[in-house]
Structure 1
Amino acid sequence: MGLFNRKTDIADTTTAVATVDPALAALTGEYTIDPAHSSIGFTVRHAMVTNVRGSFGRHEGTLRLDGTDPSRSSASIDVDIASVDTGIADRDGHLRSADFFDAENFPKMTFRSTGAEQLGGDRYRITGDLTIKDVTRPLAIDLEFQGAATDVYGNERVGFEGGAEILRSDWGLTWNAALEAGGVMVSDKVRLAFDISAIKAAVPAA
Protein backbone atom coordinates (compact mmCIF):
# COMPACT_ATOMS: atom_id res chain seq x y z
CA MET A 1 0.00 0.00 0.00
CA GLY A 2 1.40 3.39 -0.95
CA LEU A 3 1.97 6.18 1.50
CA PHE A 4 -0.62 8.34 -0.17
CA ASN A 5 -2.97 5.72 -1.64
CA ARG A 6 -6.69 6.39 -1.42
CA LYS A 7 -9.61 3.98 -1.26
CA THR A 8 -12.54 4.68 -3.53
CA ASP A 9 -16.11 3.76 -2.73
CA ILE A 10 -18.84 3.91 -5.36
CA ALA A 11 -21.72 5.91 -3.97
CA ASP A 12 -23.86 5.36 -7.08
CA THR A 13 -23.40 4.62 -10.77
CA THR A 14 -22.14 8.14 -11.51
CA THR A 15 -20.41 9.39 -8.33
CA ALA A 16 -17.20 8.16 -6.66
CA VAL A 17 -16.32 9.27 -3.15
CA ALA A 18 -12.65 9.15 -2.09
CA THR A 19 -11.89 8.24 1.50
CA VAL A 20 -8.50 8.42 3.18
CA ASP A 21 -6.92 5.45 4.94
CA PRO A 22 -6.62 6.63 8.59
CA ALA A 23 -3.32 4.78 9.05
CA LEU A 24 -1.77 6.68 6.17
CA ALA A 25 -3.31 9.99 7.14
CA ALA A 26 -1.71 9.56 10.57
CA LEU A 27 1.72 9.82 8.96
CA THR A 28 1.07 13.46 8.11
CA GLY A 29 3.47 15.75 9.94
CA GLU A 30 6.95 17.19 10.24
CA TYR A 31 9.93 14.83 10.31
CA THR A 32 13.63 15.31 11.04
CA ILE A 33 16.09 13.19 9.06
CA ASP A 34 18.11 10.95 11.38
CA PRO A 35 21.71 11.18 10.09
CA ALA A 36 22.82 8.21 12.21
CA HIS A 37 20.47 5.92 10.28
CA SER A 38 20.46 7.62 6.88
CA SER A 39 22.96 7.83 4.04
CA ILE A 40 23.54 10.08 1.04
CA GLY A 41 25.90 8.43 -1.38
CA PHE A 42 27.20 8.61 -4.94
CA THR A 43 28.78 6.39 -7.57
CA VAL A 44 31.01 7.62 -10.39
CA ARG A 45 32.86 5.75 -13.13
CA HIS A 46 36.67 5.82 -12.78
CA ALA A 47 39.14 5.38 -15.66
CA MET A 48 36.33 4.00 -17.82
CA VAL A 49 36.57 0.56 -16.16
CA THR A 50 35.29 0.59 -12.59
CA ASN A 51 33.06 2.43 -10.12
CA VAL A 52 34.11 4.55 -7.16
CA ARG A 53 31.54 4.92 -4.39
CA GLY A 54 31.41 7.54 -1.71
CA SER A 55 29.10 9.24 0.75
CA PHE A 56 28.67 12.38 2.83
CA GLY A 57 28.91 11.63 6.52
CA ARG A 58 27.33 14.83 7.81
CA HIS A 59 23.93 16.00 6.65
CA GLU A 60 20.67 17.27 8.09
CA GLY A 61 17.19 17.87 6.81
CA THR A 62 13.47 17.86 7.29
CA LEU A 63 10.51 16.23 5.58
CA ARG A 64 6.94 17.45 5.58
CA LEU A 65 4.61 14.59 4.72
CA ASP A 66 0.95 14.94 3.83
CA GLY A 67 -0.81 11.59 4.07
CA THR A 68 -3.86 12.83 2.19
CA ASP A 69 -2.22 14.77 -0.65
CA PRO A 70 1.34 13.90 -1.77
CA SER A 71 1.68 17.10 -3.77
CA ARG A 72 1.75 19.02 -0.50
CA SER A 73 4.74 17.09 0.83
CA SER A 74 8.20 18.66 0.82
CA ALA A 75 11.85 18.11 1.73
CA SER A 76 14.87 20.21 2.68
CA ILE A 77 18.39 18.78 2.97
CA ASP A 78 21.78 20.35 3.77
CA VAL A 79 24.97 18.36 3.18
CA ASP A 80 28.39 19.17 4.66
CA ILE A 81 30.78 18.94 1.69
CA ALA A 82 33.85 18.47 3.91
CA SER A 83 32.36 15.18 5.13
CA VAL A 84 32.85 13.49 1.72
CA ASP A 85 34.28 10.01 2.18
CA THR A 86 35.39 7.59 -0.54
CA GLY A 87 37.70 5.59 1.71
CA ILE A 88 40.89 7.18 0.29
CA ALA A 89 42.15 10.27 2.12
CA ASP A 90 44.05 11.75 -0.85
CA ARG A 91 41.03 11.37 -3.13
CA ASP A 92 38.74 12.92 -0.53
CA GLY A 93 41.12 15.86 -0.25
CA HIS A 94 41.04 16.33 -4.01
CA LEU A 95 37.23 16.31 -3.98
CA ARG A 96 37.22 19.02 -1.30
CA SER A 97 39.65 21.16 -3.31
CA ALA A 98 38.84 23.88 -5.84
CA ASP A 99 39.17 21.29 -8.63
CA PHE A 100 35.84 19.86 -7.49
CA PHE A 101 33.62 21.07 -4.63
CA ASP A 102 35.82 23.88 -3.26
CA ALA A 103 34.58 23.09 0.24
CA GLU A 104 36.43 26.02 1.80
CA ASN A 105 34.36 28.55 -0.13
CA PHE A 106 31.21 26.47 -0.63
CA PRO A 107 30.83 24.31 2.48
CA LYS A 108 27.23 23.19 1.85
CA MET A 109 25.33 21.35 -0.84
CA THR A 110 21.58 21.91 -0.53
CA PHE A 111 18.33 20.54 -1.90
CA ARG A 112 14.99 22.35 -1.60
CA SER A 113 11.94 20.63 -3.01
CA THR A 114 9.47 22.43 -5.24
CA GLY A 115 7.00 19.60 -5.89
CA ALA A 116 6.08 15.98 -5.18
CA GLU A 117 3.94 13.34 -6.84
CA GLN A 118 2.97 9.71 -6.45
CA LEU A 119 4.08 7.53 -9.35
CA GLY A 120 2.10 4.50 -8.25
CA GLY A 121 2.07 2.18 -5.27
CA ASP A 122 4.93 3.05 -2.94
CA ARG A 123 6.87 5.01 -5.58
CA TYR A 124 7.17 8.80 -5.50
CA ARG A 125 9.05 11.55 -7.28
CA ILE A 126 10.19 14.70 -5.56
CA THR A 127 11.45 17.60 -7.64
CA GLY A 128 13.43 20.57 -6.46
CA ASP A 129 16.54 22.73 -6.68
CA LEU A 130 19.99 21.25 -6.04
CA THR A 131 22.71 23.79 -5.27
CA ILE A 132 26.39 22.85 -5.53
CA LYS A 133 28.97 25.62 -5.19
CA ASP A 134 27.23 28.66 -6.72
CA VAL A 135 25.09 26.75 -9.23
CA THR A 136 21.43 25.87 -8.70
CA ARG A 137 19.70 23.50 -11.10
CA PRO A 138 16.54 21.37 -11.00
CA LEU A 139 16.72 17.76 -9.83
CA ALA A 140 14.13 14.97 -9.74
CA ILE A 141 14.59 12.18 -7.18
CA ASP A 142 12.65 8.92 -7.43
CA LEU A 143 11.93 7.37 -4.04
CA GLU A 144 10.25 4.26 -2.68
CA PHE A 145 8.43 4.39 0.64
CA GLN A 146 9.95 1.71 2.88
CA GLY A 147 7.33 1.83 5.61
CA ALA A 148 6.65 3.33 9.03
CA ALA A 149 7.37 2.01 12.51
CA THR A 150 7.76 3.03 16.14
CA ASP A 151 11.27 2.29 17.41
CA VAL A 152 12.24 1.05 20.87
CA TYR A 153 12.55 4.65 22.10
CA GLY A 154 9.01 5.52 21.06
CA ASN A 155 10.05 7.52 17.98
CA GLU A 156 7.71 7.35 15.02
CA ARG A 157 9.85 6.70 11.94
CA VAL A 158 9.38 6.59 8.19
CA GLY A 159 11.83 5.34 5.60
CA PHE A 160 12.51 6.17 1.96
CA GLU A 161 15.07 4.78 -0.48
CA GLY A 162 15.85 6.02 -3.97
CA GLY A 163 18.17 7.85 -6.27
CA ALA A 164 18.83 10.10 -9.23
CA GLU A 165 21.40 10.64 -11.99
CA ILE A 166 23.11 13.93 -12.72
CA LEU A 167 25.83 15.27 -14.99
CA ARG A 168 28.34 16.89 -12.66
CA SER A 169 29.33 19.35 -15.39
CA ASP A 170 25.86 20.90 -15.08
CA TRP A 171 27.00 22.16 -11.66
CA GLY A 172 30.42 23.30 -12.83
CA LEU A 173 32.30 20.21 -11.62
CA THR A 174 34.35 19.78 -14.78
CA TRP A 175 37.83 18.68 -13.66
CA ASN A 176 39.13 15.68 -15.58
CA ALA A 177 42.21 14.05 -17.06
CA ALA A 178 42.52 12.36 -20.44
CA LEU A 179 43.55 8.71 -20.57
CA GLU A 180 46.30 7.62 -22.94
CA ALA A 181 44.08 4.93 -24.45
CA GLY A 182 41.16 7.33 -24.86
CA GLY A 183 38.40 8.48 -22.58
CA VAL A 184 38.70 10.34 -19.31
CA MET A 185 39.61 9.64 -15.71
CA VAL A 186 36.23 10.58 -14.16
CA SER A 187 32.82 10.16 -15.79
CA ASP A 188 30.50 13.11 -16.11
CA LYS A 189 27.52 11.01 -15.03
CA VAL A 190 27.07 10.56 -11.28
CA ARG A 191 24.51 8.29 -9.65
CA LEU A 192 23.11 9.57 -6.36
CA ALA A 193 21.67 7.23 -3.73
CA PHE A 194 19.46 8.13 -0.78
CA ASP A 195 18.50 5.92 2.17
CA ILE A 196 16.51 8.07 4.55
CA SER A 197 15.13 7.40 8.03
CA ALA A 198 13.21 10.31 9.54
CA ILE A 199 11.65 10.84 12.96
CA LYS A 200 8.28 12.51 13.41
CA ALA A 201 8.25 15.66 15.49
CA ALA A 202 6.13 15.60 18.62
CA VAL A 203 2.89 17.53 18.38
CA PRO A 204 2.88 20.41 20.91
CA ALA A 205 0.32 20.05 23.67
CA ALA A 206 -2.75 22.16 23.22
Structure 2
Amino acid sequence: MALFGRRSSPTSDTQAPATATVDPELAALSGTYVLDPAHTEIGFSVRHAMVTNVRGHFGEHEGTLVIDGADPANSTALIEVSMASVDTGAPDRDGHLRTGDFFDVENFPTMTFRSTHAEERGGDAYRVVGDLTIKGVTRPLTIDLEFNGSATDPFGNQRIGFEGTAELLRSDWGLTYNAALETGGVLVGDKVKLVFDISAIRQAPTA
Protein backbone atom coordinates (compact mmCIF):
# COMPACT_ATOMS: atom_id res chain seq x y z
CA MET A 1 0.00 0.00 0.00
CA ALA A 2 1.41 3.38 -0.97
CA LEU A 3 1.16 5.58 2.10
CA PHE A 4 3.37 8.48 1.09
CA GLY A 5 3.50 8.01 -2.70
CA ARG A 6 3.78 11.00 -5.00
CA ARG A 7 1.72 11.62 -8.11
CA SER A 8 3.64 11.74 -11.37
CA SER A 9 3.77 15.08 -13.20
CA PRO A 10 3.98 15.87 -16.90
CA THR A 11 7.46 16.08 -18.41
CA SER A 12 6.50 18.53 -21.17
CA ASP A 13 3.84 21.08 -22.02
CA THR A 14 2.41 18.76 -24.66
CA GLN A 15 2.07 15.73 -22.43
CA ALA A 16 -1.39 15.17 -21.00
CA PRO A 17 -1.67 15.53 -17.23
CA ALA A 18 -1.31 12.26 -15.35
CA THR A 19 -4.47 10.88 -13.83
CA ALA A 20 -4.05 10.09 -10.15
CA THR A 21 -5.44 6.77 -9.00
CA VAL A 22 -6.51 6.72 -5.38
CA ASP A 23 -6.19 3.40 -3.55
CA PRO A 24 -9.55 2.90 -1.74
CA GLU A 25 -7.81 1.13 1.13
CA LEU A 26 -5.40 4.03 1.48
CA ALA A 27 -8.15 6.63 1.19
CA ALA A 28 -9.94 4.94 4.09
CA LEU A 29 -6.94 5.71 6.30
CA SER A 30 -7.20 9.47 5.81
CA GLY A 31 -7.44 11.35 9.06
CA THR A 32 -5.56 12.60 12.10
CA TYR A 33 -3.76 10.14 14.37
CA VAL A 34 -2.05 10.65 17.71
CA LEU A 35 0.79 8.55 19.06
CA ASP A 36 -0.17 6.00 21.67
CA PRO A 37 2.54 6.49 24.33
CA ALA A 38 1.91 3.06 25.85
CA HIS A 39 2.73 1.32 22.56
CA THR A 40 5.25 3.73 21.01
CA GLU A 41 8.97 3.72 21.68
CA ILE A 42 11.58 6.27 20.63
CA GLY A 43 14.99 4.83 21.37
CA PHE A 44 18.65 5.42 20.62
CA SER A 45 22.07 3.85 20.83
CA VAL A 46 25.55 5.41 20.91
CA ARG A 47 29.06 4.01 21.12
CA HIS A 48 30.59 4.04 24.61
CA ALA A 49 34.35 3.89 25.30
CA MET A 50 34.93 2.78 21.68
CA VAL A 51 33.99 -0.84 22.43
CA THR A 52 30.28 -1.13 23.23
CA ASN A 53 26.92 0.60 22.81
CA VAL A 54 24.74 2.35 25.35
CA ARG A 55 21.04 2.04 24.57
CA GLY A 56 18.18 4.08 25.93
CA HIS A 57 14.82 5.58 25.18
CA PHE A 58 12.63 8.57 25.97
CA GLY A 59 9.65 7.69 28.15
CA GLU A 60 7.54 10.79 27.48
CA HIS A 61 6.55 11.90 24.01
CA GLU A 62 3.55 12.96 21.97
CA GLY A 63 2.86 13.37 18.31
CA THR A 64 0.36 13.83 15.54
CA LEU A 65 0.22 12.19 12.12
CA VAL A 66 -2.07 13.62 9.46
CA ILE A 67 -2.67 11.07 6.69
CA ASP A 68 -3.99 12.37 3.36
CA GLY A 69 -5.21 9.33 1.46
CA ALA A 70 -6.14 11.32 -1.65
CA ASP A 71 -2.64 12.82 -1.95
CA PRO A 72 -0.32 10.88 0.38
CA ALA A 73 2.64 13.19 -0.26
CA ASN A 74 0.73 15.78 1.77
CA SER A 75 0.76 13.57 4.86
CA THR A 76 2.61 15.14 7.79
CA ALA A 77 4.15 14.22 11.13
CA LEU A 78 4.95 16.22 14.25
CA ILE A 79 6.64 14.55 17.23
CA GLU A 80 7.71 16.17 20.51
CA VAL A 81 9.91 14.39 23.04
CA SER A 82 10.57 15.29 26.67
CA MET A 83 14.35 15.22 27.04
CA ALA A 84 14.08 14.86 30.82
CA SER A 85 12.45 11.47 30.26
CA VAL A 86 15.69 9.93 28.98
CA ASP A 87 16.29 6.46 30.42
CA THR A 88 19.42 4.39 29.81
CA GLY A 89 18.97 2.18 32.87
CA ALA A 90 21.66 4.07 34.83
CA PRO A 91 20.31 6.94 36.99
CA ASP A 92 23.70 8.68 37.31
CA ARG A 93 24.23 8.62 33.56
CA ASP A 94 20.68 9.83 32.93
CA GLY A 95 21.26 12.70 35.34
CA HIS A 96 24.40 13.69 33.45
CA LEU A 97 22.54 13.58 30.13
CA ARG A 98 20.03 16.09 31.51
CA THR A 99 22.74 18.65 32.34
CA GLY A 100 24.27 21.34 30.17
CA ASP A 101 26.96 18.91 29.04
CA PHE A 102 24.32 17.21 26.92
CA PHE A 103 20.59 18.05 26.71
CA ASP A 104 20.38 21.01 29.13
CA VAL A 105 16.77 20.16 29.89
CA GLU A 106 16.19 23.25 32.05
CA ASN A 107 16.62 25.51 29.03
CA PHE A 108 15.69 23.08 26.24
CA PRO A 109 13.12 20.65 27.60
CA THR A 110 11.83 19.37 24.25
CA MET A 111 13.19 17.70 21.12
CA THR A 112 10.94 18.22 18.09
CA PHE A 113 10.68 16.57 14.67
CA ARG A 114 8.49 18.19 12.03
CA SER A 115 8.25 16.49 8.62
CA THR A 116 8.75 18.45 5.42
CA HIS A 117 8.25 15.75 2.77
CA ALA A 118 8.19 12.02 2.22
CA GLU A 119 8.80 9.57 -0.58
CA GLU A 120 7.89 5.98 -1.41
CA ARG A 121 10.83 3.57 -1.50
CA GLY A 122 8.97 0.51 -2.75
CA GLY A 123 6.65 -1.93 -1.03
CA ASP A 124 5.96 -0.73 2.50
CA ALA A 125 9.22 1.24 2.75
CA TYR A 126 9.22 5.03 2.94
CA ARG A 127 11.64 7.84 3.60
CA VAL A 128 10.48 10.84 5.62
CA VAL A 129 12.55 14.02 5.75
CA GLY A 130 12.00 16.77 8.27
CA ASP A 131 13.48 19.28 10.69
CA LEU A 132 14.84 17.98 14.00
CA THR A 133 15.34 20.53 16.76
CA ILE A 134 17.58 19.71 19.72
CA LYS A 135 18.93 22.24 22.20
CA GLY A 136 17.73 25.13 20.04
CA VAL A 137 19.48 23.85 16.89
CA THR A 138 17.37 22.81 13.89
CA ARG A 139 18.82 20.61 11.17
CA PRO A 140 17.37 18.16 8.62
CA LEU A 141 16.90 14.52 9.54
CA THR A 142 16.01 11.58 7.28
CA ILE A 143 14.03 8.68 8.73
CA ASP A 144 13.59 5.37 6.92
CA LEU A 145 10.24 3.84 7.83
CA GLU A 146 8.34 0.64 7.24
CA PHE A 147 4.55 0.81 7.30
CA ASN A 148 3.30 -2.11 9.40
CA GLY A 149 -0.34 -1.77 8.43
CA SER A 150 -3.60 -0.78 10.09
CA ALA A 151 -6.01 -2.57 12.42
CA THR A 152 -8.96 -2.00 14.72
CA ASP A 153 -8.11 -2.94 18.30
CA PRO A 154 -10.55 -4.62 20.79
CA PHE A 155 -11.58 -1.18 22.07
CA GLY A 156 -12.69 0.01 18.63
CA ASN A 157 -9.64 2.22 17.98
CA GLN A 158 -8.27 2.30 14.45
CA ARG A 159 -4.49 2.07 14.60
CA ILE A 160 -1.65 2.44 12.16
CA GLY A 161 1.90 1.30 12.86
CA PHE A 162 5.39 2.14 11.69
CA GLU A 163 8.92 1.16 12.60
CA GLY A 164 12.01 2.95 11.45
CA THR A 165 15.56 4.13 11.95
CA ALA A 166 17.69 7.22 11.48
CA GLU A 167 21.29 8.22 12.09
CA LEU A 168 22.73 11.56 13.11
CA LEU A 169 25.94 13.12 14.36
CA ARG A 170 25.20 14.64 17.75
CA SER A 171 27.89 17.28 17.17
CA ASP A 172 25.70 18.72 14.38
CA TRP A 173 23.26 19.74 17.12
CA GLY A 174 25.93 21.15 19.43
CA LEU A 175 26.16 18.04 21.63
CA THR A 176 29.96 17.95 21.76
CA TYR A 177 30.79 16.88 25.32
CA ASN A 178 33.40 14.15 25.50
CA ALA A 179 36.34 12.75 27.45
CA ALA A 180 39.56 11.32 26.08
CA LEU A 181 40.51 7.72 26.87
CA GLU A 182 44.02 6.82 28.03
CA THR A 183 44.19 4.15 25.35
CA GLY A 184 43.10 6.57 22.64
CA GLY A 185 39.71 7.54 21.33
CA VAL A 186 36.87 9.14 23.24
CA LEU A 187 34.28 8.13 25.80
CA VAL A 188 31.13 8.91 23.76
CA GLY A 189 30.71 8.32 20.03
CA ASP A 190 29.47 11.07 17.75
CA LYS A 191 27.11 8.90 15.71
CA VAL A 192 23.70 8.25 17.27
CA LYS A 193 21.28 5.68 15.93
CA LEU A 194 17.59 6.43 16.47
CA VAL A 195 14.94 3.71 16.53
CA PHE A 196 11.20 4.28 16.19
CA ASP A 197 8.37 1.85 16.91
CA ILE A 198 5.15 3.78 16.49
CA SER A 199 1.51 3.00 17.11
CA ALA A 200 -0.95 5.81 16.39
CA ILE A 201 -4.69 6.01 17.03
CA ARG A 202 -7.11 7.70 14.66
CA GLN A 203 -9.00 10.63 16.12
CA ALA A 204 -12.69 11.31 15.61
CA PRO A 205 -13.31 14.22 13.20
CA THR A 206 -14.08 17.50 14.93
CA ALA A 207 -17.49 19.00 14.40
From 94, 109, 112, the equivalent of 1:110 is 112
Q: Residues 112 and 5 from structure 1, CA distance in 2 versus in 1: closer, same or farther, beyond 3 angstroms?
A: closer
Q: Residues 173 and 5 from structure 1, CA distance in 2 versus in 1: closer, same or farther, beyond 3 angstroms?
A: closer
CA offset digits 1:25-68 (Å, max 9, x no partner): 10011111111100000000001111110000000010011223
CA offset digits 1:68-124 (Å, max 9, x no partner): 322101100110010000000000000001100001111111111111111111111
Give the aligned CA root-mean-square deviation in angstroms: 1.8
Aligned to 1:173: 175
Which structure shows the higher strand fraction?
1
Q: Residues 186 and 3 from structure 1, CA distance in 2 versus in 1: closer, same or farther, beyond 3 angstroms?
A: same
Aligned to 2:63: 61
- The AA in structure 2 aligned to 1:120 is G
Query: 2:179 and 2:58 mapped to 1: Cα distance?
Result: 24
Q: Does 1:41 align with 2:48?
A: no
Aligned to 2:95: 93
Instruction: Tell me the CA shift for residue 17 of structure 1.
Output: 5.4
Task: Tell whether the 8 Å contact from 2:50 to 2:187 is kept in structure 1 after alignment.
Answer: yes
TM normalised by structure 2 equals: 0.91
- The AA in structure 2 aligned to 1:44 is V
Aligned to 1:128: 130
From 22, 25, 32, the equivalent of 1:23 is 25
Task: Tell whether the 8 Å contact from 1:4 to 1:68 is kept in structure 2 after alignment.
Answer: no
Instruction: Structure 1: give runs of 5+ residues left out of the alignment.
Output: 7-13
Aligned to 1:9: none
Task: Tell whether the 8 Å contact from 1:70 to 1:117 is kept in structure 2 after alignment.
Answer: no
- Bigger shift: residues 62-71 or 168-177: 62-71
Task: Tell whether the 8 Å contact from 2:5 to 2:73 is kept in structure 1 after alignment.
Answer: no
Query: 1:204 and 1:89 mapped to 2: Cα distance?
Result: 42
Query: 2:96 and 2:58 mapped to 1: Cα distance?
Result: 15
Aligned residue pairs, count: 198
Task: Tell whether the 8 Å contact from 1:116 to 1:127 is kept in structure 2 after alignment.
Answer: yes
Q: Residues 71 and 54 from structure 1, CA distance in 2 versus in 1: closer, same or farther, beyond 3 angstroms?
A: same
Instruction: Structure 2: give runs of 5+ residues left out of the alignment.
Output: 7-15
SS in 2 for 1:20: coil
Instruction: Tell me the CA shift for residue 202 of structure 1.
Output: 0.9
Instruction: Tell me the CA shift for residue 4 of structure 1.
Output: 5.2
- The AA in structure 2 aligned to 1:63 is L
TM normalised by structure 1 equals: 0.91
| Identity, % of aligned positions | 71
- The AA in structure 2 aligned to 1:159 is G
Instruction: Tell me the CA shift for residue 16 of structure 1.
Output: 7.9
Query: 2:95 and 2:206 mapped to 1: Cα distance?
Result: 44
SS in 2 for 1:78: strand
- The AA in structure 2 aligned to 1:171 is W
Q: Residues 170 and 70 from structure 1, CA distance in 2 versus in 1: closer, same or farther, beyond 3 angstroms?
A: same
Q: Residues 16 and 73 from structure 1, CA distance in 2 versus in 1: closer, same or farther, beyond 3 angstroms?
A: closer
SS in 2 for 1:19: coil
